[in-house]
Amino acid sequence: MKIAVVGTGYVGLVTGTCFAEVGIDVTCIDIDQKKIDNLHKGILPIYEPGLEEMVSRNVEKGRLHFSTSLAEGIKDADVAFIAVGTPPGEDGSADLKYVLAVARGIGENMNSYGVIVTKSTVPVGTAAKVRAEIEQALAKRGAAIEFDVASNPEFLKEGAAIDDFLKPDRIVVGVSSERAEEVMSKLYKPFLLNGHPIIFMDIPSAEMTKYAANSMLATKISFMNDIANLCEIMGADVNMVRKGIGSDARIGTKFIYPGIGYGGSCFPKDVKALIKTAAENGYQMQVLQAVESVNEAQKEVLFEKVSKHFGGDLKGKKMAVWGLSFKPKTDDMREAPSLVIIEKLLDAGCTVSAYDPVAMEEAKHSLGDRITYAKDEFAALIDADALLVVTEWPDFRSPNFDVVARLMKQKTIFDGRNIYDAKELHEAGFTYHCIGIKTDHKEPVA
């Protein structure tokens, strides 16, 4: 088979590369000439573990190609994926201008039957708009070319995207014809050999499935953060509570770790979009509105702990921040809690020295030179009044606390991800604050 993937961002590049990995001929298309030039040189626009090596391997094998020409890319393609961005508008709705522009371009250039698949996260009803754009473009050409539109939402976790694609929990495909179902079944056959299920459904249901899945996961996170805040007030241990409820098979252990809120490219955007879609159709998503509200408040919890510890006076204090990306194993800074925390620290008069294994260059787009970017996690600690653990990178899980203590001005840690043992740190002479556990704090430091 031959496929085209339009868009070489996170979803498009992972999708195209993983299809090439199982032997399919793939052309990834993007209007950004610099991005395509870099890809030809092996320079990727995103960080994802294992992806660089996989791209290089499949380019060398002649299965993965990059182009700025939509006409060349979709020529004789059996399937064309639309994987461009759907950024949120000011009202929270998904902006479909890039998706529809690609659909129009496909209609202007396609030369044979193909299945046009929306891979981007799009609201219910988008496939109908894609179809209309293609039909209009074909009509202008006077071309009678048959095609089908399908929806194939992605369920990729940043930092584990390759495994998620190659070994999926499930493959969801929305179709409106038997012919499209046959094409998509053939395309995904290499993944079905290992028993991974493919679920065919109508297109609107497939479009809704993506939003429903991300909104449910976001709900679990905000619920657990709400419980964590109450545990801290009441003197309960949220880690014990988490184990207690996680052992219930109906609830499970995933996405119930307390922390400082979710971020990234999916959860915040998709929750907002689903709330907006409901409002446009006369319905209020009360649970999701609460999920969003809790998450925004949770991003400020760590700063509030810092402010309280120092008696509300942070002017002139130096804060070390470990972790900038919204989660480990990615350089994605979109909606990252670190941005909220650092902005509040700076507004309060602090200086900030931060370290992240891969996200510092990306962070500079938002934070510029207002903070110091350390060469490693220990350099960030020099003369710091406190350490804030914001992203739970493996690099930070077992540091040498003797070295940490020697480097810092004050032995104070604010753990936004609950990765350390409170008893161990107290015995080592640290003042330790975390999420959802009422620790034995020392007196506030002036």
Active site positions, annotated: 266
Q: Give one word for 173, left, alpha or beta, with left for phi > 0 and alpha for psi -120 to 50.
A: beta
Distance between CA atoms of residues 190 and 421, nearest Å? 44
Ramachandran angles phi, psi of 78, nearest 5°:
-75, -35
Rounded-to-integer distance, Cα 92 and Cα 292, Å: 12
CA distance 68 to 39: 11
Residue-wise DSSP of 172-192: EEE-SSHHHHHHHHHHTHHHH
Six-digit token string for 390: 């914001």
Cα 296 to Cα 128, 261, 301, 304, 414, distances in angstroms: 34, 7, 10, 13, 19
Tokens encoding 27: 């052309």
- List phi, psi (to 5°) of 388: -115, 120
Query: Integer distance in angstroms from the first to the last C-alpha of the chain?
Result: 68
| Tokens (6 digits) for 314 | 């942070």
Structure tokens at 115: 């299945």
Structure tokens at 123: 């609201």
Helix (H) / strand (E) containing 66 = strand 64-67
- The helix/strand/coil state of 351 is strand
Element (H, E) at 40: helix 33-40
Q: CA-CA distances (angstroms) from residue 411 to 115, 161, 382, 414, 430?
A: 60, 37, 11, 10, 5
Tokens 């953060």, residue located: 225
Residue 322: its H or E element: strand 318-322
Alpha carbon of 46 to those of 161, 236, 273: distances in Å?
A: 12, 41, 24
How many Å apart are CA 164 and CA 152, to the nearest integer? 14
Q: CB of 381 within 8 A of CB of 321? A: no
Tokens read off for 186: 């053939």
- State the Cα–Cα distance between residues 149 and 128, nearest whole angstrom: 8
